[in-house]
């Protein structure tokens, strides 16, 4: 019996180590890349934009799982186990809630939502330190308002075309839950 407990404990430590290695790779390679490109108006569209939309939630979920896996081995009192169980349930619900949009958009990766926007307005938001968000806003044929975040290059192209022709429209294919633009054309 004690041998099985030691094997389970060893397995949990190996799993936690693996999760920490994944977290380290994401953190030390992914985060600097993310900061360099994402905060300067990149990684907003396409698959990269979709991954960016869920990246922080996924990293937090991996970190949470690592903490849960390693902390369960140190519990020996019933009150601590109950508190751990409540924390596990609440933390799991938070993780599910935080990656919900990311997961709900998976079926749309092969069948995007589409919208034609008119009365386009191009705007950028630089109110955040080290971050600039480039946006296009407009109305569909039913007068429903939409706002999407764009890459800087797409923003510049659309703004230039809109300055030349105020009646320009945008055809946008997007993921409905994360609101990520997958393809855009200005017509």
Whether 147 shows a pLDDT value over 80: the answer reads: yes
Please compute the mean of the pLDDT values over residues 96-104 and round it to a whole number: 86
**Domain boundaries, given as residue ranges, for the chain:** 2-107, 109-186
Dist CA 44 CA 53 (whole Å) = 8
Whether 128 shows a pLDDT value over 70: the answer reads: no
Residue whose pair of structure tokens reads 């958009």 in the numeric block: 105
Q: Which residues contact 20 (CB under 8 A, 6 or more apart)?
A: 66
Give yes or no for a contact between 174 and 35, defined as CB atoms under 8 angstroms apart. no
Dist CA 84 CA 58 (whole Å) = 21
Which ranges of 40-77 would DSSP assign to H, the alpha helix?
Answer: 46-71
Residue 112 tokens, joined: 């995007």
Whether 114 shows a pLDDT value over 70: the answer reads: yes
Dist CA 6 CA 3 (whole Å) = 5
Please compute the mean of the pLDDT values over residues 142-151 and round it to a whole number: 93
Give yes or no for a contact between 176 and 105, defined as CB atoms under 8 angstroms apart. yes
Please compute the mean of the pLDDT values over residues 139-164 and round it to a whole number: 92
When the candidates are 3.30.70, 3.40.50, 2.60.120, 2.40.50, the CATH number that belongs to 109-186 is 2.40.50
Q: What pLDDT score does 82 carry?
A: 79
- Look at strands 131-139 and 170-175 and give their pairing: unpaired
Q: Indicate the pLDDT class of residue 121, thresholds 50, 70 and 90.
A: very high
DSSP 8-state secondary structure symbol assigned to residue 1: -
Residue 46 tokens, joined: 């396409």
């Amino acid at each position: 019996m004690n041998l099985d407990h030691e094997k389970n404990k060893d397995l949990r430590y190996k799993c936690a180590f693996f999760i920490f290695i994944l977290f380290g790779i994401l953190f030390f390679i992914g985060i600097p890349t993310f900061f360099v490109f994402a905060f300067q108006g990149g990684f907003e569209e396409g698959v990269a934009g979709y991954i960016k939309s869920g990246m922080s939630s996924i990293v937090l979920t991996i970190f949470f799982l690592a903490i849960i896996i390693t902390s369960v081995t140190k519990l020996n009192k019933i009150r601590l186990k109950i508190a751990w169980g409540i924390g596990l349930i609440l933390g799991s619900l938070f993780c599910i809630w935080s990656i919900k949009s990311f997961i709900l958009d998976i079926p749309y990766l092969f069948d995007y939502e589409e919208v034609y926007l008119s009365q386009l307005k191009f705007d950028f938001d630089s109110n955040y330190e080290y971050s600039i968000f480039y946006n296009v806003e407009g109305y569909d044929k039913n007068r429903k308002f939409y706002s999407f975040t764009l890459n800087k290059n797409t923003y510049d192209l659309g703004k230039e075309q809109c300055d030349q022709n105020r009646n320009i429209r945008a055809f946008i294919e997007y993921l409905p839950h994360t609101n990520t633009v997958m393809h855009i054309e200005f017509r």
